[in-house]
Amino acid sequence: MAERRPTRGDSDGDDREQQVVGTRRGRTEQLTAAEAGRYGLRHIAELTGKDPEGVSAVEPAEDGWVVTVDVIEDHRIPSAADILATYETEMALDGDLISYRRIRRYARGRGDDRNA
């Protein structure tokens, strides 16, 4: 996870710090696909307040990652009647959230009608 390092160039000698993701060969460390998936899941859970069901896709993008997360929108009894939603996140290479949007809402028991 992130570590804290002193800011370079502090002329007054104080201990101000900046967030650094990490370094690998002198460059900012980039997320792996698995890490991007975990970040995307966490971002959606925090922003929506919904229970995440899982990550259904992780794709590299030009300047980061696109992560697709399924969440339980509405708990029902029985759970087979739950309403789920799919959210898509766009994240920078370091895991910062750029945007998110809900792209689909569906009943748990329904198959994927889009490919039929």
Q: Which helix (H) or strand (E) holds 73?
A: strand 64-74
Please give the pLDDT value at position 110: 72
Residue 83 in domain? yes
Q: In which domain, by residue range, is 78 found?
A: 30-111
Domain count of the chain? 1
Both tokens assigned to 93: 């290479």
Q: Is the pTM of this model over 0.75?
A: no
Do residues 97 and 89 make contact, with C-beta atoms less than 8 angstroms apart? Answer: yes
Residue 103 located in a structural domain:
yes
* pLDDT for res 24: 35
What is the structure's pLDDT at 114? 59
pLDDT at 66: 98
Q: pLDDT in tens for each of the 116 residues of the chain?
A: 444 334 334 444 443 333 334 333 334 578 999 999 999 999 999 999 999 999 999 999 999 999 999 999 999 888 889 999 999 999 999 999 999 999 999 998 775 665 54
